[in-house]
Structure 1
């Protein structure tokens, strides 16, 4: 019996009260490409952070080729064991390929000065050894994304590591670039390199991996040869048997003659993060937008809320052109938004609940640019009551609130302007069950008021409130599910798997 190259057993990791991993396991054999899959929040990132020496597990063991993992403080030892190539490159864009390969370890000559000639020669030899076809003197920022990733892989291999973690490596690549990356992975495997491949696109697992491990709800679920695991079974392992047959509640669709509120045609984002998107929402309709982290769903929603300026296409709200790249103009046009990060984008922590909840509607609180204190307090109290915000009153600092009540304040501000289009991005992220129900009840209220609602979320429970759900994959709408879908159907679309 040969020892596995990497073995993790019984990994437990907590961050305060949150259990990020309660039973993480992984066994990777030498020379294989091993897929690690699971829905957002399954524990993949936590396990990778432990496998790469960024964090210490609270319980469990990690070993490389039968030897215990190095202590966290021995970074050189970790570099000789493992490296991670992330979705966002870690190379320095303004430096050459050679400079990136030997950063902080440049060869020196007389007097301890950097020997540029030796560095160029060593870089050329390293690139040739691993068949990375880029020039050592090329500026890294001018390389294609796939070539930057290969430079990062070559740099890791130069330390002696033969275990490479690829974290969503195809998120920024087109189909042709993906195939070229896979060809290089296969070639490197033949040279003895082992990969841990993380992707939300399950068809890629079947194209390039030999073994797959599934995490769900912070636990190990199964490890199996890819060839022995049908795609439907893989999706159900990710979704969970206990939820595989749950359905979204079917509710009466808006009348076919309901006025069209939002009409999006051919919308394309910067860098084609989303491309040629058509989207309509009628009065009183709730539409969900689902997709993996690199699908473009967040950027599309943020564009409609005025945060970005698309490069092509247009959007109309009640027949009037939506302004792009201007949040204030979008607000005046009738768009309310709950942004993806309440801490960074949704709240001003040094201000009160009343200030946060009403900052988008100063014109309703006074005349000539002056905000009346009594009017603001009354308006805020009404919002606090409507959203069931548990607080002492409008004057309480928003920083004193729990996560669920803080998110309700963000929702209150989005609703304060009586928007005709409500854009909700991960509206229940990080809140307790009771707060989640309260927030989602506001979605139903907005529907009843005739608002057009766009819900962008990774949480299936958020999407169950929708009349239909559109799925983005590599920036394009690839599927539409009417209310009544099963979990495994939606997950299969998100992961790019044809269950038929």
Structure 2
């Protein structure tokens, strides 16, 4: 047995977990050393979430053991003991948005004064001291809802550290951050590591693993595959370990869009609070990317075409007809399909089935006089499930049961169900595994071949490589255009504003 000072900070030894007939984890192994950033990667369904559930004491393994500092994990009922060991910062924030930072930091353990009443002065002072101790530069009196995503994450980390935890699980922490915010998060992680904090970093963005982590563990098909120093594992070998097969990359071979192809989308002088004087066009069978930082206006512009916002000036036409703004249903009827930026909040109805979710956009075509034909809906849902390769027990399965990649395919299926003339995709592969990502991007190629105009908004360079050209927005204006074949450093320079003074 290892000496106490050399024992792993956190360890999972051959843990298994079943939910009925489903084997969620067959052989989970993890060894995290103190002071490191350890990546946990794998395709959706590989067992990552289940392992985190066991590591954080939300459930007990059916077999195997969880250990901290060389000793067995606390009993599940001892929540305070678990909070002193480990905390998880999820992709969805767990802070209470209407409370202040200070109130969130000390929720359910506020300092009290005479008569057992909360001492608001002490609460503010202790919150300020805690934030200062961990170099979290946030106003303790600010409403948490008003904070940037990265600052909300740091508040959650500070809350966990105040309880004594020095092992923090970060679950897809960069999913809603732009490049600058990601770099700031990584800088803060490195600072906290220097102070003795250890991270388990879960991400589908493999480049981030190489940037911020020292060790990586791969799960596949609910089993441990490998653990290795990041520096010793080439990206191709990491992807192969995740996928179970050799994954090759390279530029896509495709014919350029014909010059005589009809213009499907044309925008003239579009202006709003987020963007200004936007002129752009997308031809049938053309894929155009929109790139930029989170404050560039790219998402708001794309959402305007999908009917979510109304510009204050300018106009747009779809197939020569005025595009309706501020009305999602009217945009849908006009021929716009959309994969929104957040599948959880905007894309799915979690209590409905896979079949219901995939066909929501075409109910008017599945019956007459307001009645929906059950057989027609079932047939179309089955066709869409097969077309998108959605792994499901059938159209009747609740969509909430699906992995992230398959849930995103459901959102894509609904966007394609009406055979749109314009397909607007906003962060279409966010939070999905490598194989699902490739499947989703293949749908972009299919839409292109069908003559659909496609607009892709993404922070992922791999998503933008599918585009015939990429427009870069900087502070609300289009400042650069890159034809297919651009090099990473050229596009990144435009996104960061390096090449426009």
* Aligned position for 2:105: 101
Cα pair 1:383 1:412 within 8 Å, conserved: no
Residue-by-residue CA offset, 1:261-298 (whole Å, 9 max, x unaligned): 245799999989xx9999875435688999xxxxx999
* Aligned position for 1:110: 114
Q: CA deviation at 1:71?
A: 2.8
Normalised to the residue count of structure 2, the TM-score between the two structures is: 0.66
Q: CA deviation at 1:33?
A: 1.7
* Aligned position for 2:260: 257
Is 2:186 aligned against 1:185? no
Distance 1:361 1:234 in 2: 47
* Aligned position for 2:58: 54
Distance 1:328 1:302 in 2: 13
* Aligned position for 1:242: 245
What are the equivalent positions in structure 2 for 1:248-397 lying under 5 Å apart? Answer: 255-262=258-265, 282-283=283-284, 304-307=305-308, 316-336=317-337, 344-345=348-349, 359-361=363-365, 371=369, 380=376, 387=383
State which structure, 1 or 2, has the greater radius of gyration over its C-alpha atoms: 1
Determine helix, strand or coil for the equivalent of 2:200: strand
88, 93, 113: which is aligned to 1:89? 93
Describe the shift of the 1:352–1:42 C-alpha distance in structure 2 as closer, same or farther (beyond 3 A).
closer
Alignment RMSD (CA, Å): 5.9
Q: CA deviation at 1:43?
A: 3.2
Describe the shift of the 1:158–1:317 C-alpha distance in structure 2 as closer, same or farther (beyond 3 A).
same
Describe the shift of the 1:311–1:101 C-alpha distance in structure 2 as closer, same or farther (beyond 3 A).
farther
Normalised to the residue count of structure 1, the TM-score between the two structures is: 0.66
What are the equivalent positions in structure 2 for 1:200-239 lying under 5 Å apart? Answer: 200-230=204-234, 232-233=235-236, 235-237=238-240
Distance 1:170 1:76 in 2: 28
Stretch moving more, 155-164 or 94-103: 94-103
Q: CA deviation at 1:422?
A: 5.2
Describe the shift of the 1:306–1:217 C-alpha distance in structure 2 as closer, same or farther (beyond 3 A).
farther
Q: CA deviation at 1:63?
A: 1.0
Describe the shift of the 1:361–1:155 C-alpha distance in structure 2 as closer, same or farther (beyond 3 A).
same
Describe the shift of the 1:387–1:26 C-alpha distance in structure 2 as closer, same or farther (beyond 3 A).
closer
Cα pair 1:96 1:136 within 8 Å, conserved: yes
Describe the shift of the 1:228–1:247 C-alpha distance in structure 2 as closer, same or farther (beyond 3 A).
closer
Describe the shift of the 1:33–1:328 C-alpha distance in structure 2 as closer, same or farther (beyond 3 A).
same
Distance 1:386 1:241 in 2: 28
Cα pair 2:444 2:454 within 8 Å, conserved: no
79, 82, 86: which is aligned to 1:78? 82
Is 2:37 aligned against 1:33? yes
* Aligned position for 2:198: 194
Cα pair 2:364 2:370 within 8 Å, conserved: no
Give structure 2 stretches of 5+ with no counterpart.
292-296, 387-393, 433-438, 493-501
Describe the shift of the 1:39–1:94 C-alpha distance in structure 2 as closer, same or farther (beyond 3 A).
same
Q: CA deviation at 1:447?
A: 7.0
Describe the shift of the 1:258–1:271 C-alpha distance in structure 2 as closer, same or farther (beyond 3 A).
closer
Cα pair 1:357 1:383 within 8 Å, conserved: no
Q: CA deviation at 1:51?
A: 1.4
* Aligned position for 2:435: none
Cα pair 2:56 2:86 within 8 Å, conserved: yes
What are the equivalent positions in structure 2 for 1:331-480 lying under 5 Å apart? Answer: 331-336=332-337, 344-345=348-349, 359-361=363-365, 371=369, 380=376, 387=383, 415=417, 419-421=420-422, 450-452=451-453
Q: CA deviation at 1:455?
A: 9.1
* Aligned position for 1:496: none
Distance 1:451 1:142 in 2: 39
